[in-house]
Structure 1
Amino acid sequence: MLEGKIIKFYRECQKMMQKDLGIGICSSTHISKIERGLTEVSKETIDLLSQRLGIDMKTEIKTYIRMDSLLKKWHESIILKLNTKAENIKKQLEAVALLQMPDIYRSYTLVLTRYYLFIGQEHQAKSLIAEMDEWSDLSPYENSMLLHIKGINRLINNEFNKAIFYFQGIDPTCYNNQEYYYHLALAYHSLNSRVLAYFYAEKSLRFFTEIRSITRMIEAEMIMLGELEQDGYYEPQDTEYQRLIELTENFGLDHHRAVLTHNLGYQKVRQGEYEKASECYKQSMEISDPHTDIYLSALEGYIKALTNQGLKSTEELLQLAERGIALSEEINETIFKHYFHLHKYNLQNDQEQYYHYLEKEAFPYFEKMENVLMIEPYSIKLFDFHMEKGNVEEANHYASFLVEKYRRNDKFV
């Protein structure tokens, strides 16, 4: 009985004993049964108990029902990436005393943790995840949502295999938030598993289409297009990028437009069209905050395109690399710091320092972060370097990264 739960909640909030609440109304035994929903109770008794607690039961019941609706809308706004709406609903929820009721609190904590991950407050999310790990008797839905949250947290921290482990534990029969397919696609993309990345991105696209989220549809298509352009048998047309870029312009999605323009620049580098590539990277930087990873990524690509184009002086390119190093250190983006240092040594034509830095600083970091997209190409670089030096043992060490990727368990005669 809902009335019993509400009575118990306010009684405990006011640190009132059951016998004190029931004085002149009913016995403490009867209060206990009411709170546990084990007995029928008259409206008159409920009114008297409510009056003593200083609450209006009808209002509290309406609020309780409204809380469930608000929590669902809050979660939906996070999935749809509606920042302002999510913040407004959070404020509404925080003003309601019933938020601390045990059954509401669990749902609230799950969505709150998802919210913290959404706005980039990983420390708060980590604290709540630790709290939720102590919960018992989770419902199938609660368990799946917690797995989704843990997976996103691992994804943010570049622990891609661990993220996949959590995502794969989700029960889709009870957890209707298929957004997790998108997060699976991101994890597989980061591990350079192109087929699985495309597969899950396509599944997430269908979900985002069903919920009519242009923003999320664009994100899913961005992954799909990115995987296709890695295929040596497929060359994405500019029109595919332009369609998505125009959509981002129409909906004011500057970050997404910066990413797409950056990705088009990468595609132009692969096609050897360095002038167009540098234009794309420059456009991406112009609409990005310099203190973000997308700006740093565009700057790194800009240096690469300009270097291949051969129209800028070494001094100008070194200035760009130094700017990249300074910005990377300022916002603690270690991976980009390594990229820009490698550009610096390459521009200085200091091959000895380049390979020393790659082997002792950059490559160990790529390994630590499980960054397969960087491990594979730089394994080849280091393999070739050591083979040229006649260091066969060292060369074989880097060859092992590629051997493991293509290892098969097939049995041959």
Structure 2
Amino acid sequence: MTVQAPRGTQDLLPGTTEKWQFVERKITDLCRRFNYQEIRTPIFEHTELFQRGVGDTTDIVQREMYTFTDRGDRSITLRPEGTASVVRAFVQNKLYGSPTQPTKLYYFGPMFRYERPQQGRMRQFVQFGVEALGSKDPAIDAEIMSLAMSVYQELGLKSLKLVINSLGDTESRNNHREALINHFEPHKEELCADCQVRLTKNPLRVLDCKKDREHPAMATAPSILEYLNEESGEYFQKVQNYLDHMGIPYEVDKNLVRGLDYYNHTAFEIMSDADGFGAITTLCGGGRYNGLVEDLGGPETPGIGFALSVERLLMALDAEAVALNENSGVDCYFVSLGDKAQEEAVRLTYELRKAGIQIDKDYQERKLKAQFKTADRLHVKYVIVLGENELENNQVSVKDMESGEQQEVALCELVTYLIKALQGDKQDGK
């Protein structure tokens, strides 16, 4: 019996991983420019963290988490999202005590959700996320959204739409909650079983239901924007003003609520309008979560963040036919003939690698023609040939694979020669 990868997971093979590495490098550089620092948290956490942090009424906690009991009889969960873990680390390590605030963090890592696998939605997926903790300034909301948009734009995506909404403060949400219950109560028996429970526990989640989204009552549901108190309304208007000043286009969607319980005030999503991208158009989502730090045992600390699936990002790049400039070629390839030449080739290959040159060699004892074929397949820039004659003369033959020119180079000068040649190629844009 052949053992295969579990359903909802995938192997990322050479030829694909280079695209992932390119995207990760671009995003990491962008975070550096925005002054966000990397944080790495455990892949599994105590289950209580997600029950408290994500919310008991969410789909994630109710049916999607990978939870198990360890040998110490503790309930452990593979992390389904990143924010709760980052906030836990923020509290546990007392990052709120740093004199430099807000604390601005980013992360990459695998997340796990038990749901039906489909295109762009896996049971193990890689998430990139950003969290800014310690500021209630609406300007940081705008900064977070500008960073999210920059990720997609700098990678070359064009068909993007930023959608925003406000969920208001506690007072606004309570008033809206009561209005939602009164609105949906006459239709309760027509809603799915989940929404019948949500209606009393967290009616805002009814608006996020995938099963009942076409129900007529959804279209006439009261908007949170109608229940924002003066403070919440002013906050939301300031966020929009900052986006306007940065020249970032957006749409206000009164039905955008996000799927996690900890959100308040600003909520947003970035969607793809590209043809052929698929039915699930959301690329990224986030929002403000004032109160989450306190729920996890920390001091009163406002926060805002977003997360995106790297898999869906790559899908969007494919949908818009964006070619990534990942460098998957090899600089040099060493061809050697004869036992003594092979020994010297091993030494020289090691020296070249220590000098920072990307190089490979034959390890199959193939003939000269076969070794050159391998060099062609690797798209190398230079082939270094070392045989018995070259070895007697303490030199190698270096062939430029683009021009076909061949140069004899002394063994003691090979490192310097190749470094200079490769630097010249970079300056020429090769």
TM-score, reference length from structure 1: 0.22
Normalized per residue, the structure richer in helix is: 1
Normalized per residue, the structure richer in strand is: 2
Q: Which has the higher contact order (CA 8 A, sep 6+)?
A: 2
TM-score, reference length from structure 2: 0.21
